[in-house]
Amino acid sequence: MLRRPDGACAHKTGWDSPASGDASRAPSAPAGISEPCFYKNNTMVIMKNTLMLTILSASLGMAIAQAAPEAEVADLSLEELMDIKIYSAAKKEQAMADTAAAAFVISQEDIRRSGATSIPEALRMVPGVQVAQINAHDWAIAIRGFNDRFSNKLLVMIDGRTVYSPLFSGTYWSAQDVVLEDIDRIEVIRGPGGTMWGANAVNGVINIRTKHSKYTQGGLVSAYGGNYQDGGAVRYGGELGTEGTYRVYAKGKHHDDYLNALGQDAHDQWNAGQGGFRADYKLTPKDGLSFSGDMMEMAGDETIGLRSAIDNNMSQRTANALAKLTHQTERGEWYLQSFYSSDERNGYSINQLIDTFDIEFQHNMQAGKRNAMTWGLGYRLVADELSDFNGVFFSPAQRTTQLFSLFLQDQFSMTDQLKLTVGSKLEHNDYSGFEYEPNARLLWKPNENHSTWTSVSRAVRTPSRGFHDIRIDLYRIPAMPPFLPNATVGSIVGDAGFKSEEVTAFEWGYRGQMTQKLSFDIAAFYNIYDNLLSSYPKVVQSPGLTQNLSVMVNGLEGESYGAELYANWKVTDSWRLQPGYTWLTVDTRTKNNAIDTALGLKIEGSNPQHQFSIRSQLSLPHNIEFDTTVYYVDNLSNTAVTQNTGVNVANYTRLDLRLGWRPLKALELSVTGQNLLDDRHPEFVADDLVTSQIPRSVYGKAVVAW
């Protein structure tokens, strides 16, 4: 394996040094790239070289593709892409061209040819999505702004099962994993999805959908290894009688430590193991039943940075089980789905055990020639048990909450070309009571190749335990007992009166096929936010004790606006280019003079104003594949975090290359290089973690299927 770089940058090429006496194992730098620090610190040079890399990749692809006209890309045609089915926009299958939402589908082929080893890495290719790695196991992922370690305005699901933590209404991305070869697609909806999916689908929805078990028959073994990570998976599928199929799997991974900004060990290594199953059975020609379940355990290191840098061990164990019954009717279909999940996480400041039970019924039906209705009911029970220490406290330590929901949506075909969709979801939770989330969407499809849409919708992020019941003691003076007399304590505290954060979103989009080889997808939005999380100072005096409190409050309001562009250009039968661009602006302001402005500045500064990417997929003779992706990410202005002071998240350009070969139908070999243009750089600054430097990495992978 290649060794980790020593962190030096200014006078080196930035490529990994081989182990002593093993110079043959060191990769070669691309021609003309010898000063990676210069690339990271100069915006004009970054943009210039991004363009040059794109042109060079295109020129190389054109030359090779013209020399090998018999090669074919294994993707869908553009006509098929326009007709691809997507579920997550309306909670029913519909063609992409008929979807009145900013939607994007990552296919299994996209994942395979990206060289990604995790779900967050695969999400980098979606326009409008900001993917930033914090350390070896933590990510900040957001749609249309408000990025955060826990993705708290983003609803994430795996096969329709929500995976966000109700403790902070966020997602632990390190715990969300499946066998990548078993993913059918990842559906990404940019913009509110509250009407269909409920609270916390404020800025978007990510639904990871795995394959039906009948499509994963036989065996599969995959393994990869490189200079920072290695892992593998085993999966086998078979038949259950004459009407059923199943698969079982196991996988594991290991990740080495990164470096911090000082070139020191970041103490963020981790290991994970996971196993699970899926079974699908056809009860009758109209009825189907499926079961699935997973168990995962991970353990690793992290460097906590709330007050001082502290090395800490963390671990997480999760288990889930899901059952779904579907029935086809003459005019539609209905399903009944239920899942149970258990999440145990142990860290520096809190041990948590959270159990969730959820049951949902949904009915899709054709209520006439021009009306397609979808309605449903849901219930969720969440029980938690929290053990507090190291200055973090929850009161009460145990809590059980319930969520009731009802939704109705109607799609009315005004003409063959014009469709109006209206609906709303009504929910009741134990923190803020009743919430409503309506939407109205209008789609105009003048012909089969072009469609445009517009929408207005409202969504909410409901309060969580972290907003109501938490207390974080940041300091005590004196620091050791006895605290009295005349002790001082500084704390962040929750507020039982905290209300839901709200967004009213206005969107417009267009998608069309310009020619048989070129298609476009454009979306623009303007979002108005209210009751955003902030804090205000409060001093509480008692005999011998002064409490300097920072109280959580709905103290911010603001707007975000921007546009997302994506194109799919089939240059030749063997070469496809897919450029994407995102422009985003976020503005916040306090609702009164008593509100702390720091969090508003952090919200504004945690999002790049510009993002650009271009993917090239080139199929060569003899089953060889050459795939190139260039990402440009604008700088982040937020650096005001205690243990990350001086960490500047500058703009950067990232180059990923993959070379794949299929010598046999059942065997795939590939080599992938990620972040090849510089030695290492930071991508995000989190409040409670010391930022790691994301390094250049190279790994090889083999997949055998039978």
Residues 320-362: tens digit of each pLDDT? 999 999 999 988 999 999 999 999 999 877 889 999 999 999 9
Residues sharing a CB contact under 8 Å with residue 655, sequence separation 6 or more, in sequence order: 30, 53, 628, 629, 630, 631, 673, 675, 676, 677
Phi-psi region of 552 (alpha: psi -120 to 50; beta: other; left: phi over 0): beta
Of 482 and 13, more confident: 482
State the total domains in the chain: 1
Domain coverage including residue 397: 23-705
When pLDDT is averaged across residues 356-372 and rounded to a whole number, the result is: 94
DSSP code for 595: S
Cα 223 from Cα 218, distance rounded (Å): 17
The answer to whether position 9 is within a domain reads no
Q: Per residue in 626-657, pLDDT tens?
A: 999 999 999 998 654 445 655 789 999 999 99
Q: Per residue in 268-290, pLDDT tens?
A: 999 999 999 999 999 999 999 99
Place of tokens 């450029």: 579
When pLDDT is averaged across residues 247-275 and rounded to a whole number, the result is: 94
Among residues 3, 36, 7, the alpha carbon closest in space to that of 17 is found at 3
CATH number at residue 364: 2.40.170.20
Q: Could you report how far apart the first and last alpha carbons of the chain are, in Å?
A: 28
Place of tokens 């906590």: 304
The answer to whether position 4 is within a domain reads no
The answer to whether position 367 is within a domain reads yes
Q: In degrees rounded to 5, what are phi and psi of residue 285?
A: -60, -20
The answer to whether position 3 is within a domain reads no
Cα 697 from Cα 227, distance rounded (Å): 6
Cα 525 from Cα 455, distance rounded (Å): 9
Q: Is residue 343 within a helix (H) or strand (E), and if so which, with residue range?
A: strand 332-346
Task: Give the confidence band of 484 by pLDDT, cuts at 50, 70, 90.
Answer: low
Predicted local distance difference test score (pLDDT) of residue 18: 34
The answer to whether position 6 is within a domain reads no
The answer to whether position 230 is within a domain reads yes
A 10 A CB-CB count for 523 gives: 25
Hey, what are 204's tokens? 């978007």
Of 462 and 24, more confident: 462
Task: Say if residue 434's pLDDT is above 70.
Answer: yes
Task: Say if residue 42's pLDDT is above 50.
Answer: no
Contact call for residues 457 and 438 (beta carbons, < 8 A): yes
105-114, 189-198, 382-391: least confident range? 382-391
Task: Give the confidence band of 686 by pLDDT, cuts at 50, 70, 90.
Answer: confident
Share of the chain above pLDDT 70, in %: 85
Predicted local distance difference test score (pLDDT) of residue 147: 92
Of 300 and 9, more confident: 300
SS (H, E, C) 364-384: EEECCCCEEEEEEEEEEEEEE
Task: Give the confidence band of 99 by pLDDT, cuts at 50, 70, 90.
Answer: very high
For all residues of the chain together, what is the average pLDDT? 86
Cα 116 from Cα 615, distance rounded (Å): 13
Q: In degrees rounded to 5, what are phi and psi of residue 241?
A: 70, -145
Pairing between strand 85-86 and 697-705? unpaired
Q: Per residue in 167-196, pLDDT tens?
A: 887 888 988 999 999 999 999 999 999 899
The answer to whether position 13 is within a domain reads no
Predicted local distance difference test score (pLDDT) of residue 689: 82
- Going along 591-689, which residue ranges are E strands? 610-620, 624-633, 652-664, 667-674, 680-681
In terms of residues, how long is the chain? 706
Of 54 and 667, more confident: 667
Cα 228 from Cα 696, distance rounded (Å): 9
Q: Per residue in 554-611, pLDDT tens?
A: 999 999 999 999 999 999 999 999 999 999 999 999 998 888 888 888 888 899 999 9
Cα 307 from Cα 257, distance rounded (Å): 22
Contact call for residues 680 and 5 (beta carbons, < 8 A): yes
Task: Say if residue 68's pLDDT is above 80.
Answer: no
The CA dihedral of 239, 241, 244, 246, to the nearest 10 degrees, is -30
Predicted local distance difference test score (pLDDT) of residue 28: 37
Cα 441 from Cα 102, distance rounded (Å): 12
CA 291 to chain centre: 25
Of 519 and 689, more confident: 519
Contact call for residues 465 and 356 (beta carbons, < 8 A): no
Range ranked top by mean pLDDT from 67-81, 483-497, 599-613: 599-613
Cα 2 from Cα 503, distance rounded (Å): 47
Task: Say if residue 700's pLDDT is above 50.
Answer: yes
The answer to whether position 12 is within a domain reads no
Q: Is residue 360 within a helix (H) or strand (E), and if so which, with residue range?
A: strand 350-366
When pLDDT is averaged across residues 2-29 and rounded to a whole number, the result is: 35
Among residues 487, 478, 301, 307, the alpha carbon closest in space to that of 391 is found at 307
